Structure 1
Amino acid sequence: MEAKGMPEGLSISDIHSLGQKEALDILARIARVEKKTFPSNEAFDFSADLWRKKPNTRVLYATGASPSTGAPSPLVAYAVYVRQKGAALLHKVCVAEPFRRRGVGQKLMDHIRQRLQREGCQYIQLWVDKAREPARALYARCGFEEREEIDNYYAPGRTGIRMVLNLE
């Protein structure tokens, strides 16, 4: 069952399933959301290098239904993870501001979990800022457990928490 207010026609895709032109367009759109959402020292580099065949890195993105105006489908969310044998490190999960608190993050996390389970991944780990309560709550709802805290992980006074989800 979809959450109330879920963007219509939500679709989750991998940039590696796209041609170069389309992938670079999506990466540019992701980069704009990234710059609005995260401090510059934490903004991920969404350059063309991510589209080139980096075998262990995946960039997933979610779009809503195309508006009737003919404009492109809105970019709703994105995630980046790196796969290393039986483990995946989730580097980035972001839901664009207008689409938050509608179940999009949950749907994206469920998609990632199912995909990694199909691929034989044993666990997913991530780091989250202790102060980012909505993100921590989302990860906890998805079954992640807090395993470790490191003071000043992100910057002086900003604690990082390592969270892990076992997939076996």
Structure 2
Amino acid sequence: MDIPNDMAISDIHSLNRKEVLDILAQITRIEKKTFPANEALPFGEELWKRKPNTRVLYMTRRAASPAVAAATGGARSQPHGNVRSPVIAYAVYVRQKGTAFLHKVCVAEPYRRQGLGQKLMDYIRQRLEREGCQYVQLWVDKARIPARALYARCGYDDREEVLDYYAPGRTGVRMVLDLCSGG
């Protein structure tokens, strides 16, 4: 699945420190609005500096000209006349040899139900396949039906359930994508 022309997916490791801090601050705001406090990840600068096997990917609309951004109320101007669009989705994964552990996938509330989560998941899959990854695994709350449906559409299979994984009464489901079998 191709990324729409008006969207871009980037890795924070391709940015300078100031840009990283801006992106991580945006991700943190989305994270706090979306997940309970006990499930929210700390999106600090160390994800960029000291964790080479950890990837933080984020999706934005492609930058518009400053005039278009001002007219639409969309993005803030950056130095040198560049315009950075707001983060609309993000994902975090950790690679360990042939396995990637997908820790977070989130689409900001106003952008849900538009296929962006699917596009981000497809991008991650293609990237990990190119890098020689064999498996991708994740945990999801059994009650998060839309998330589980997205992962199933992306080829993930339920492998295990753990009662009280997230909190008392909240079952976790481990899902795995086998990249070796083509799905």
Alignment TM-score, normalising by the size of structure 2? 0.86
Q: For each residue in 1:1-38, what CA deviation from the matched residue of structure 2 results, as whole angstroms up to 9, or x when unmatched?
A: 779xx7x7110000001011101110011000000000
For the Cα contact (< 8 Å) 1:82–1:90, is it kept in 2? yes
CA distance in 1: counterparts of 2:159 and 2:103, whole angstroms: 17
Q: Which residue of 2 aligns with 1:160?
A: 172
For the Cα contact (< 8 Å) 2:133–2:179, is it kept in 1? yes
CA distance in 2: counterparts of 1:45 and 1:66, whole angstroms: 27
Alignment of 1:121-136 (within 5 A): 121-136=133-148
Cα RMSD (Å) of the superposition?
1.6
CA distance in 2: counterparts of 1:111 and 1:19, whole angstroms: 23
Counterpart among 45, 48, 54 of residue 51 in structure 2 = 54
Q: Which residue of 1 aligns with 2:80?
A: none
CA distance in 1: counterparts of 2:6 and 2:49, whole angstroms: 28
Q: For each residue in 1:18-63, what CA deviation from the matched residue of structure 2 results, as whole angstroms up to 9, or x when unmatched?
A: 0111011100110000000000010000011111141210000000
CA distance in 1: counterparts of 2:63 and 2:85, whole angstroms: 4
> Percent of aligned pairs with the same residue?
69
Q: Which residue of 2 aligns with 1:89?
A: 101
CA distance in 1: counterparts of 2:98 and 2:34, whole angstroms: 30
Q: Which residue of 2 aligns with 1:31?
A: 28
Alignment of 1:134-145 (within 5 A): 134-145=146-157
* Structure number with bigger Rg: 2
For the Cα contact (< 8 Å) 1:150–1:160, is it kept in 2? yes
**Which letter maps to 1:83?**
R
* CA shift for structure 1 position 66: 3.8
Structure 2 unaligned segments of length 5 or more: list them: 77-83
Instruction: Say whether residues 1:104 and 2:104 are aligned partners.
Output: no
**Which letter maps to 2:23?**
I
Bigger drift between 70-79 and 41-50 goes to 70-79
Q: For each residue in 1:121-161, what CA deviation from the matched residue of structure 2 results, as whole angstroms up to 9, or x when unmatched?
A: 00000000000000000000000000000000000000000
Q: Which residue of 1 aligns with 2:10?
A: 13
CA distance in 1: counterparts of 2:147 and 2:158, whole angstroms: 12
CA distance in 2: counterparts of 1:86 and 1:65, whole angstroms: 32
For the Cα contact (< 8 Å) 2:62–2:85, is it kept in 1? yes
Runs of 4+ in 1 over 3 A off after TM superposition: none
3-state SS in 1 of match to 2:132? coil
Distance 1:40 1:62, change over 3 A: same
